[in-house]
Structure 1
Amino acid sequence: MEIEKKLSDFLYTTLGSFSIERIVLKKKSKKIFEKGKTHKRKTKLEYKSNSKTLILYASETIKGNKRRELERIVKHFFTLLESAEEIEGKLESFKTLLNLSGNIISDLNIKEVIKRLLLAGLEITGVKHVSILLIENDRSGFAYEMYRSDKKLKTYHSTARMKKGISGRVLKTGKPVLVRDILKLKDVNPTAVKKGRRSLIAVPLFHTNRIIGIFYVDSDVPDAFDQEVLERVQFVANHAAIALGNAKLFNEIKKLADRQALLYNLSLSLISSIELKKMLKNLLLQLKKNLGIEYGAIVQYDKEKSINIPIAWIGYKGLKNLVFQIKTPPDSLVAYAIARKKMIYAEDVTKNKFYYNMVDDIQSEVAIPLILGEEIVGAMVLSRTVKNGFDQEDLELLLTISSSVAMAIKNAELYEKTRIYAITDPLTGVANRRRIEEIIDREISRSIRYSRMFSLLFIDLDNFKVFNDTYGHTVGDEALKEFANILRTAVRKIDSVGRYGGDEFIVVLVETDISKALSTGNRVRKLVQEKMKEYGITLSIGVSTYPLHGTKKSQLVQAADNACYRAKKLGGNRVAHP
């Protein structure tokens, strides 16, 4: 399979920090992937899962936490491989069921089957109202109802009691119940009386010898039904139960296939070049499609600042640029999940003291910390507008996904740190020479496109060599860092500061003519002279402006450098231009 090779290649890249130099993946005795080099002295690690064997060759012995982290990654790798295989089998089952369904494909839609059953109930009984309860567990169910007046399908969480009353009797005996007058029952559900029901038929819906629901036909008058009506209702219900059972089976297989596809697509996203925010937004949209979530957010956790920063979200409005402070004790489900390092599920948010109400519609919510090894990198919070919105399979799927999401966020963090390091001067934190030259090229292109000017300040610290010889390079480094901080705060946010080399700096002043550049240069010169008085540091600054002093990068930098040199020759602590 192509995915096996892609996942193995991604694993090889990921394990570079573990001193893994070569990996081999075998299926039984056949090699299906091999990458890396082999040395004479090496440590061999072998892991097996079902029919596959993963062999890792390391240049050094891997121990302790590093070994445990390696084994966790390998375990996750095998899980992704198994998911890729399982999805093929499940999709084949899905296709087989579709073929067997033939011309009754529409009946594999549960809501369509329910709608047809309720319409039939209205027709054969002549009543005003019918309903069906689908059993979810021993404690609750989801109800569908229809009124003759509009014949629209309505849904709600049922208040039917599973252990007593009419529903309890049907579930206990497995037989239909005909109630001629509800008011004469001792254990009647008060909700039924409140809704004005007087007589009722309740028929169990069997599939594979198990009750999967109850079909109700009710009337607002007593003695509305006799045995003949009961038999007609039972006849329709028995046939509908078969279709409903098949539809539920179809949905379960489809749900499983969709979930396996979700894991499969997530694994592909992790090994692709897709941007993190886009990938996580797609994940949330897939969860909306598969689990029915209406609201969801994935946040990045900053331990030092104790804050959560939203990366991707659906449903919520106004999360952009927001930061959530993590308080002690926790004041939200996410904060509590992070504090406990475990998934927290609120079946009914109104009964959970840690729930933070952002949207009134939300009734159930799950928060999952995103953990990589021992490090919390973020959290995922998903919500629905119904109580008990997530079942055990949903929660297990989300836990599986969370490991992959944590890895994706961590990889993005490492990539961003590497990217910043590549364009930043390590001493001062401003742009390095390569980056500042890229910015100059960019401004030339923008100026050509929009016919605008921009200027450069070429800055040199006066007598800095003497300063270093007098105070030492350590103090000199501190002076450079302080100067760079002053320089950054002295110019606009749209301007760019870079270290060109040694004690030479360049500032790119966007959309600035020669007059304003000279004014900015003098302001910077005076500010540094004042704030760095204890060091006795002054500046020589040369100014060049596009296109007055050149249309190429080399011309502009040279012009500013020459002007800086002239300022220094004139005694320093001044600004000059060509």
Structure 2
Amino acid sequence: MRGDAADRTHPPELGDCRDPIEHDPVGVFVLVGGRLSYADAAFLDVLGRSRSELIGRPFEGLVAEEDRPSIAALLDRSSAAIGKIESCRFVRNNGTTRPREVVIRRIDGKDLVIGTVRGAIPQIRSGRLHGLWELGKGLTEIGDVGALCERAALYVRDDLDYDFCAIWLTEGAEMVQHGAAANPFFPAGEIPMRGMRIPVEGRGITHLAIKHSEPVIVPDVTRDDRYDGSRTSMRSALAVPLIGRKGPIGVIEVESQRRAAFGGQDLEVLSALGSQLAIAISALRQEESLRLINGFGQQIAAASTVEQVVAGTIDFLAEQFDYQLSVLFLGGSEGDLKVAGARGPYGERGVEIGWSLPPGEGIVGWVARNRRYAIVDDVRRDPRYYEAFSGTRSEIAVPVTFSGELYGVLNVESKDPGFFDEEDRRVLEVIANHLVIALSNLASKESLREQAIRDPLTGMYNRHYFNSIIEAEFNRSNRYNHPLTLMMIDIDGFREVNNRLGHLKGDDVLRQIARVIGESVRAADHVIRYGGDEFLILMPETREEAEMVAKRLKERIAKLPEEAGIPGISLGLSIGIYLRPPGEGRSLQAILEEVDRKMYADKREHGPDRTDGHDHPPPDDAR
């Protein structure tokens, strides 16, 4: 029953790669008088020679010199060995050796021996595994993934004595060749160049090994359409996946000129190598991730806007960690969470920049409320989940906090269940730390900037700010052929507030007047506290609208004494308006003198009792 269950779940396209020991090559030979009289094709493949080269040669001369005494003893008639096993290394036509087991059976009373040659013996296996242990120590001293793969490929070719080896690593939807080694007889065009890229999805044993996270053995590439390599001299192939913490991260591809060259021991050794290589690569990638995250932190720390910080964060998650479904929420002005940046098909549910998460909803809402991370292996089983993308199966969210204050939530999703683990959590928390530092720095800079350009009493812009923007506004007016209006305002009757009620009440009334002015203009307009009780309004792209604003302001300020609790005191505004046409050559000084003249003309028009302006102490930056 267990075997049946395994058969039902095993992908049929992998063939019989689960039982590679069945493919251990077994060569048959016959000796007469110690000389070779017959050799089958598998035995010829072991030596890489033709039958005519071998027939009649002493068997001892086919093995390495140091193995000849043991082979001679095995063949000695006096030993009367039946089914005895001995190890040796056969010498191939190119000078390399093949470790094999030799089993002989002597025909009674005759000088006739029938023998078989099969895969590596336990002693050779032990030596290979010891060699892997030595290699593993060397791999830990290599600090580059490419050099790591090159060293492993050379080991496969030289120490394990395979004809060809290539090591491919996944990068997103592609596999990249990071190391290759081949015997000298290979044409240069049949060896893939380092850096070569192929899609992860596709035909061939490397793709199958990645797809199913299982090794694939092809005993005869000429009869198996799973092999799609271009090396015409190859006869058998093996692909072993490199398994990382989240599945396959690459493939070791090995090929041989011999048919059925790969068996159980080959798979065992290469799987052990694959495990060592995957661990070493993962460790290097983790170190590289830390370096990249530190570089990311420096990059966003230099950003001058929140938009630059958000875009840099979302791009970094996708490009360096392949997080293709990510959303950064930042706190809104009303304490809600708004989408500041997103990567993925979230638009299908209306989740886009500026979208507000319903208060307390979703795993993100839970993380914001509890100030702690959440990893959800299957969102379909979590009642907290708020669906923003129908393809999401797993999710991780970490809070973006600083000194206990919540700035936002960093949320990443995957189409695969159980995709995220503690390593992802650590990575995202480090990124969140860099993110909140950058946001905090920007907030501090913005706060300092606001202090430098705002009047501390009224909260309106100050004269320093006006001087810093006016030239740019003139240029913009000229470039887009739009007029620009300057409105100078002086508060009439303000001396009486100070004389009768004191300067503290005067400060309060001045703040209320500034509020009314701010509420009466557009968001694109700039209200500046220009002097003690003088205000200047810069109004881009306006014509007759300025007259309507002036009328509205006078009406509202006339009603303010009653609203402010100062009945019996009359307040009004004297307003001068200057419309600057685009391209006008008058200097700023001349324009300010003209608008000031018009303001006093408006004040005189209302009578001598309305000429008591400039009574209030000017702001610190007034000149």
Quickly name the TM-score band, shorter chain normalised. 0.5 to 0.7
Aligned to 2:517: 487
Aligned to 1:561: 596
- Alpha-carbon distance in 2 for matches of 1:132, 1:409: 41
Aligned to 1:92: 143
Partner SS, residue 555 of structure 1: helix
Q: 1:286 to 1:91 in 2, by over 3 A?
A: farther
Cα drift, residue 106 of structure 1: 4.5
Cα drift, residue 387 of structure 1: 0.9
**Cα RMSD for the two superposed structures:** 4.1
- CA-to-partner distance for each residue in 1:36-57, whole Å, 9 max, x for gaps? xxxxxxxxxxxxxxxxxxxxxx
Task: Return the TM-score normalized by structure 2.
Answer: 0.56
Residue 417 of structure 1 is aligned with which of 431, 435, 447? 447
- CA-to-partner distance for each residue in 1:521-553, whole Å, 9 max, x for gaps? 223222322344545211111111214997222
Aligned to 1:313: 342
- Alpha-carbon distance in 1 for matches of 2:271, 2:210: 14
Residue 427 of structure 1 is aligned with which of 457, 470, 482? 457
Which has the larger Rg? 2
Cα drift, residue 386 of structure 1: 0.9
Cα drift, residue 319 of structure 1: 2.2
Aligned to 1:502: 532
Q: 1:152 to 1:98 in 2, by over 3 A?
A: closer
Aligned to 2:586: 551
Residue 108 of structure 1 aligns with an amino acid whose one-letter code is W
Match status 1:469 vs 2:499: yes
Cα drift, residue 309 of structure 1: 3.0
Residue 542 of structure 1 aligns with an amino acid whose one-letter code is G
Mean alpha-carbon deviation: is it higher for 543-552 or for 370-379?
543-552
Cα drift, residue 574 of structure 1: 9.6
* Residue pair 2:362, 2:386 contacting (<8 A) in 1 also: yes
- Alpha-carbon distance in 2 for matches of 1:413, 1:468: 37
Q: After TM superposition, list the pairs within 5 Å mapping 1:185-200 onto structure 2.
A: none
Cα drift, residue 254 of structure 1: 4.5
Residue 575 of structure 2 is aligned with which of 520, 527, 541? 541
Partner SS, residue 426 of structure 1: coil
Partner SS, residue 167 of structure 2: helix
Q: 1:568 to 1:115 in 2, by over 3 A?
A: closer
Aligned to 1:520: 549
Q: After TM superposition, list the pairs within 5 Å mapping 1:120-139 onto structure 2.
A: 133-134=212-213
Aligned to 1:368: 398
Cα drift, residue 358 of structure 1: 0.6
* Residue pair 2:205, 2:226 contacting (<8 A) in 1 also: no
Q: 1:465 to 1:550 in 2, by over 3 A?
A: farther
- Alpha-carbon distance in 1 for matches of 2:224, 2:239: 26
Q: 1:91 to 1:356 in 2, by over 3 A?
A: farther
Aligned to 1:324: 357
Cα drift, residue 493 of structure 1: 2.4
Residue 383 of structure 1 aligns with an amino acid whose one-letter code is E
* Residue pair 2:488, 2:575 contacting (<8 A) in 1 also: yes
Residue 572 of structure 2 aligns with an amino acid whose one-letter code is T
- Alpha-carbon distance in 2 for matches of 1:532, 1:152: 91
* Residue pair 1:541, 1:574 contacting (<8 A) in 2 also: no
Cα drift, residue 448 of structure 1: 2.3
Residue 348 of structure 1 is aligned with which of 359, 363, 378? 378
Aligned to 2:169: 109
* Residue pair 2:297, 2:435 contacting (<8 A) in 1 also: no
- Alpha-carbon distance in 2 for matches of 1:312, 1:382: 12
Cα drift, residue 346 of structure 1: 0.8
Residue 151 of structure 2 aligns with an amino acid whose one-letter code is L
Residue 504 of structure 1 aligns with an amino acid whose one-letter code is E
* Residue pair 2:373, 2:396 contacting (<8 A) in 1 also: yes
Partner SS, residue 143 of structure 2: helix
Aligned to 2:559: 530
* Residue pair 2:325, 2:413 contacting (<8 A) in 1 also: yes
* Residue pair 2:377, 2:417 contacting (<8 A) in 1 also: yes
Match status 1:406 vs 2:466: no
Q: 1:396 to 1:152 in 2, by over 3 A?
A: farther
Cα drift, residue 97 of structure 1: 0.7
Unaligned runs of 5+ in 1: 1-88, 123-128, 136-147, 154-202, 214-228
* Residue pair 1:370, 1:406 contacting (<8 A) in 2 also: yes
Q: 1:149 to 1:500 in 2, by over 3 A?
A: farther
Q: 1:470 to 1:105 in 2, by over 3 A?
A: farther
Q: 1:491 to 1:332 in 2, by over 3 A?
A: same
Q: 1:108 to 1:521 in 2, by over 3 A?
A: same
Mean alpha-carbon deviation: is it higher for 433-442 or for 453-462?
433-442
- Alpha-carbon distance in 1 for matches of 2:293, 2:206: 41
- Alpha-carbon distance in 2 for matches of 1:244, 1:570: 93
Partner SS, residue 380 of structure 1: strand
Q: 1:90 to 1:512 in 2, by over 3 A?
A: farther
Cα drift, residue 257 of structure 1: 3.5
Cα drift, residue 563 of structure 1: 1.3
Cα drift, residue 101 of structure 1: 4.1
Aligned to 2:54: none
Q: 1:558 to 1:105 in 2, by over 3 A?
A: farther
* Residue pair 2:398, 2:409 contacting (<8 A) in 1 also: yes
Q: 1:132 to 1:502 in 2, by over 3 A?
A: closer
> What fraction of aligned residue pairs are identical, expressed as a percent?
21
* Residue pair 1:301, 1:309 contacting (<8 A) in 2 also: yes
Aligned to 1:125: none
Residue 539 of structure 1 aligns with an amino acid whose one-letter code is L
Residue 321 of structure 1 aligns with an amino acid whose one-letter code is G
Cα drift, residue 130 of structure 1: 9.1
Match status 1:390 vs 2:420: yes
- Alpha-carbon distance in 2 for matches of 1:401, 1:299: 14
Residue 330 of structure 2 is aligned with which of 279, 295, 300? 300
* Residue pair 2:310, 2:328 contacting (<8 A) in 1 also: yes
- Alpha-carbon distance in 2 for matches of 1:282, 1:340: 27
Partner SS, residue 92 of structure 1: coil
Partner SS, residue 456 of structure 1: strand
